[in-house]
């Protein structure tokens, strides 16, 4: 397993990150505007001094090489929007909020999705199958920028059960987690249903039932382990999508997470902040996918570490 992880990190992670860094670095500089562009014009001497201070007066290729040298030492540089703070400091401050939101949404999606999928698989092509699958599809049909305001209107303004903004009290987490996790409930539910249906018709399940094993033990101890393999393989992209896809949700509910910093950095052309967040999220996604591959290989005896 250690050889597999090291091979994945060195032979896949490094080239992938290098491609992402290169594309992001040149794309944001090709875009019109700059970090010091604004509605008010800046004195040319002041602008020249700022560009010289941040190294923006050097050729683009030299800037690229210097940036690679800095990040090799873990230095993402200072933020152009917050000059007294580094990008690493801002990411360290905001990411725990985004991580907590993503984990809450993931827990909600797994619990509801797996539950709906198991119920649907036990009685296929009946009301117990069609009802949870139809409800789960709502998450796919309704986008987050529509579902979020609807939940705010119903549970925040009319019923006044949950708070509609902020990240202080436990009830502040409910509506954002529901909004973010609802889209993944349908995927997990359908994967669970398909995996469980495949396992329930296996010979060892019929053998267990013939030996008098209770239906609860048949489902939980025998069928569920194999039926959840598709869900486990999906959890890597799902976790990455929940953690990195919270930009809209954080904006709707005014959550001080990393998504808001990224949106502000895009509007302000904060090059170092954009690069730092993109690189951080790319590395996080690769790590999550590696962890899921390890867990999937451990759960499935037919797979081996290579």
State the pLDDT confidence band at 306, using cuts at 50, 70 and 90. low
Average pLDDT over residues 143-149: 83
Nearest 5°: phi and psi at 84? -90, 0
Summarised one tens digit per residue, pLDDT across range 11-61 is 677 888 888 889 988 888 887 777 777 656 677 777 788 778 777 778 888
Tell me what pLDDT residue 300 has. Answer: 62
Please give the radius of gyration of the chain, using alpha carbons only, rounded to the nearest integer.
Answer: 24
Average pLDDT over residues 154-162: 84
Nearest 5°: phi and psi at 78? -80, 155
Separation of alpha carbons 145 and 179, rounded Å:
9
Tell me what pLDDT residue 305 has. Answer: 56
Q: Count other C-beta atoms under 10 Å from residue 22's C-beta.
A: 12
Question: What tokens does 292 get?
Answer: 């899921």
Nearest 5°: phi and psi at 86? -85, 160
Q: How many residues does the chain have?
A: 306
Q: Does residue 256 have a pLDDT over 80? A: yes
Tell me what pLDDT residue 299 has. Answer: 64
State the pLDDT confidence band at 1, using cuts at 50, 70 and 90. low
Q: Does residue 124 have a pLDDT over 60? A: yes
Summarised one tens digit per residue, pLDDT across range 182-229 is 888 888 888 888 888 888 777 777 787 787 777 777 777 777 777 777
More confident residue, 154 or 11: 154
Q: Does residue 297 have a pLDDT over 80? A: no
Separation of alpha carbons 275 and 130, rounded Å:
45
Average pLDDT over residues 143-155: 85
Tell me what pLDDT residue 69 has. Answer: 85
Summarised one tens digit per residue, pLDDT across range 67-114 is 888 888 878 888 888 777 888 888 888 888 888 888 889 899 889 888
Separation of alpha carbons 282 and 289, rounded Å:
11
Average pLDDT over residues 221-243: 77
Tell me what pLDDT residue 191 has. Answer: 86
Q: Count other C-beta atoms under 10 Å from residue 154's C-beta.
A: 13
Tell me what pLDDT residue 95 has. Answer: 87
State the pLDDT confidence band at 130, using cuts at 50, 70 and 90. confident
Share of the chain above pLDDT 90, in %: 0
State the pLDDT confidence band at 302, using cuts at 50, 70 and 90. low
Separation of alpha carbons 229 and 232, rounded Å:
5
Tell me what pLDDT residue 40 has. Answer: 64
Tell me what pLDDT residue 303 has. Answer: 59
Q: Which domains, and CATH codes, for the chain? A: 12-71 (no CATH), 87-299 (1.10.3720.10)
Could you say which DSSP state residue 41 is in?
P
């Amino acid at each position: 397993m250690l050889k597999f992880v090291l091979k994945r990190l060195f032979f896949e992670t490094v080239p992938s990150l290098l491609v992402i860094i290169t594309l992001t670095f040149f794309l944001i500089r090709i875009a019109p505007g700059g970090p010091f562009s604004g509605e008010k014009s800046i004195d040319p001497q002041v602008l020249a001094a700022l560009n010289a201070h941040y190294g923006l007066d050097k050729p683009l290729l030299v800037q690229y090489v210097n940036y690679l040298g800095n990040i090799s030492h873990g230095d993402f540089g200072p933020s152009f929007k917050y000059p007294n703070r580094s990008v690493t400091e801002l990411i360290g401050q905001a990411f725990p909020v985004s991580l907590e939101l993503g984990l809450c949404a993931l827990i909600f999606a797994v619990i509801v999705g797996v539950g709906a999928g198991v119920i649907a698989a036990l009685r296929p092509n009946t009301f117990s199958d069609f009802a949870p699958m139809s409800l789960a599809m709502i998450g796919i049909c309704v986008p987050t920028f529509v579902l979020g305001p609807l939940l705010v209107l119903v549970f925040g303004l009319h019923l006044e059960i949950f708070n509609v903004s902020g990240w202080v009290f436990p009830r502040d987490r409910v509506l954002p987690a529901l909004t973010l996790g609802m889209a993944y409930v349908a995927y997990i539910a359908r994967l669970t249903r398909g995996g469980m249906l495949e396992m329930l018709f296996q010979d060892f399940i019929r053998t267990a039932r013939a030996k008098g094993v209770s239906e609860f033990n048949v489902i939980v101890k025998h069928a569920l382990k194999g039926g959840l393999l598709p869900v486990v393989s999906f959890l890597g992209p799902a976790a990455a999508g929940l953690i990195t896809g919270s930009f809209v949700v954080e904006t709707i509910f005014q959550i001080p997470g990393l998504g808001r910093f990224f949106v502000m950095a895009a509007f302000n052309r904060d090059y170092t902040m954009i690069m730092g967040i993109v690189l951080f999220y790319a590395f996080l996604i690769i790590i999550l996918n590696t962890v899921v591959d390890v867990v999937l290989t451990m759960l499935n005896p037919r797979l081996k570490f290579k």
